[in-house]
Chains A and B, each alone.
Chain A
Amino acid sequence: MYLLNREQRHVINYTWMIISLLLVAFLPFLLFLGLYLKSVLLLHDYSLTDLIFSKTWKPSSGQFGFYPFIVGSVWVTLVAMLITAPVCLLTAIYVTQYTKKFVLRIMHPAIDILAGIPSVVYGLWGILVIVPFISKYLGPWMGVSTMGYSILAASFVLSIMIIPFVLNILIEIFRAIPMELKEATLSLGATEWQTIKNVLLKKALPGIIAAFGFGLARAFGETMAVLMVVGNVVRLPHSVFDPGYTLPALIANNYGEMLSIPKYDSALMFAALLLLAVSLFFNLVMHFFIVRYNKY
C-alpha cells in the first residue's frame, strides 16, 4: 500500500514536525538578526541612547533622532487604549451578563464585519469624518486651534480598528466563565454588580490583560490608518491635538525614497528594529501579568 513502512513514515513525520517547530521558534530571532545587521551601519556611528533620545531628525545633515517618533507612537497607542479599554470591557460585561442571548447573536456578525474592513478604509473614514470633526468642533469646543490631523485623530481611528478584536476576545473570556461560579456567588447573597466586580472580573483578569495586550500590540504596529490622519510632522507633541509621527509611518512613508542619503536606509531599519523591540517588550510585560494573576 505505502511506499514506506510504518517506522520510516514515523521518522519522516517526526522530523517534519521538529523542522516546523524550529522554523517558528527561530523566525523572530531571524527577523531580529536581519534588522540588526541592516542597521548596524547606523549603530556603528551613533550611540544607542543618542539615537533613541535625540530630538533632531535631519537625515540630510546626518542627524537621526528617533525620540519624536517613539513619543508619537507611544502617545497614539496609549490614547487609543484609553478609549478602547473601557468601551470593550463595559460592552463585553453588558452583552454577556445583562442582555438576552439574541443580542450577542446580532452583535457577533457586526463585530466580525468591523474586524474585516481594510485599514486604508479606516484611514479614509478618519480623513473624511474624524479629522474635520476635531478641527471644526472638538478643537474649538476645547479652546484649541488644531488642523485636525493629530494624535487624537489617529487614536480615534486606531481604537475603532482594534475594538472589534479586543471585544471579541473579551466576550469569549466572559462566556468561558462557568455559570455555576456566578450562581455560587449569587447564592451567598451578592448582587449582580458585586458578583461581576468581585468575582467575575477577578476570574477574567488574566484574559482581560491578554486581550488588552493584544490590542496594544496591534495598535502600536498599525501603519496605514495612522499614517493617513496623524499629520506626519516630526515634532514632539505637546497635546493630543498636535500632529505627530509614528515609527511605522516613518518607515512606510520613506522606505524606497531618498535612499541616496547616507545611512538613511540603515536608519529606517533601525526604526523597524525599535518597533520589534517595543512589541516584544509589550509581549513580555503582558506575559508577566498573565502569569502573575493566573493563580486563582
Chain B
Amino acid sequence: MENSTKIEIRDLNVYAGKTQILRNINIDIPRNKITVILGPSGCGKTTLLKCLNRLTDLYPELKVTGQIVIDGKNILAAREDIYKLRQQMGLLSQRPYPLPMTIYNNISYALKLRGIKNRREVHKLVMHYLQQANLWDEIRDRLREPASRLSIGQQQRLCLARGLAVNPEIILADEPTSALDPISSQVIEESFLKLKNDYSIVLVTHVLRQARRIADNVVFMYLGDVIEQGTVQEVFENPKMEKTKLYLGGTFN
C-alpha cells in the first residue's frame, strides 16, 4: 500500500508575512491517479501547487514549513537539486504561457533542458509529445510558426506537451481549463484521463462538475485548511463535513 502513494504532504504551513496561507496540510497523493484539489478562490490551492515544485522559492515573502515527501525524499530540504526536482513535474497554469519561440522550439527547448540534443531524436520526441497532448494533427504543418499564433486552447495543449517533454512523473495543473472554451476543456480532460496511466496528476479546480468527471480522489480546501479528503465517491456522495456539503450543494461561498 505504501508504494501507491506518490506524494506525502505532512504538516505543511505557508506564511506570507503575518498571514497564514496554508494551515497544517496533510495530504497523500496516490500514484497514477487524478487527485483534484477543490475549493473556492483564494483558499490556497495555487500556493499548495507551487510548494510541490518549489516555485514558492521565487517569492521571498513566503515562508514554508513542514515536509513534502516524494519517493521517500523531502523536497523542501534546501540541499535538494531544485532543477531536477522541477523536471519531475510538468506544470500547466491557468492561462497558457507559451515560450516566445516557434511551436517546435517550445517542445525542443524542454528536451534540451533534459539533455536531448540529437536532432533526429528531438524530432521524434516533439512529434510524440504533441500527439500525447492531442495537438499534432491540428498543427503538423505549422511547426515553424510562433507559438503565440495558436488559439488559446491549442496553446494550453502545447503547454501540456511542453510539460510532458521534460519526462515528468507528476503533472501539476492549476485550473488549466478556466480560460478555455468547452471543447478545448474537454480535450484537456480527455488527455488527463489517458495520461493518468503513466503520470500522477494533481489538478486544482473550482469547477465541481470537472472534479466529478475526472477525479479519482478529491481534497476539499477552504481558507487554507483541508476540510475533507477521500475518493470521489466518498466526498461527493457522502460528504462528512458541513462545509463540504454546503459547497457541493452550491449554497456556499
Q: A residues within 8 Å of B by Cβ? A: 100, 178-191, 194, 198-199, 202-203, 295-296
Contact = CB atoms under 8 A, between A and B. Distances in A.
Given A191-B83, A296-B148, A183 B93 contact: yes
A288 to B, nearest CB: 18
A187 B113 contact: no
A191 B162 CA distance: 17
Interface string B68-103: 000000000000000110110111011101011100
Given A181-B97, A202-B100, A187 B109 contact: no
A180 B113 contact: no
A280 B224 CA distance: 57
Contacts of A187: 53, 55, 86, 89-91, 163, 172
Given A187-B90, A198-B109, 19 more contacts: A100-B60, A178-B97, A181-B99, A183-B91, A184-B91, A184-B159, A185-B99, A186-B86, A187-B89, A187-B172, A188-B163, A188-B165, A188-B166, A189-B83, A189-B84, A191-B83, A199-B99, A199-B100, A296-B100
A180 B109 contact: no
Choose among B84, B110, B114, B159 the residue with the greatest number of A CB atoms under 10 Å from its CB. Answer: B110
A242 B93 CA distance: 57
Contact of B99 (A100, A178, A184): A184
Nearest to A177: B100
B219 interface: no
B58 A182 contact: yes
Choose among A178, A184, A185 the residue with the greatest number of B CB atoms under 10 Å from its CB. Answer: A184
A199 B112 CA distance: 14
Interface in B197-238: none
A295 B83 contact: no
A190 B83 CA distance: 7
A180 B109 CA distance: 17
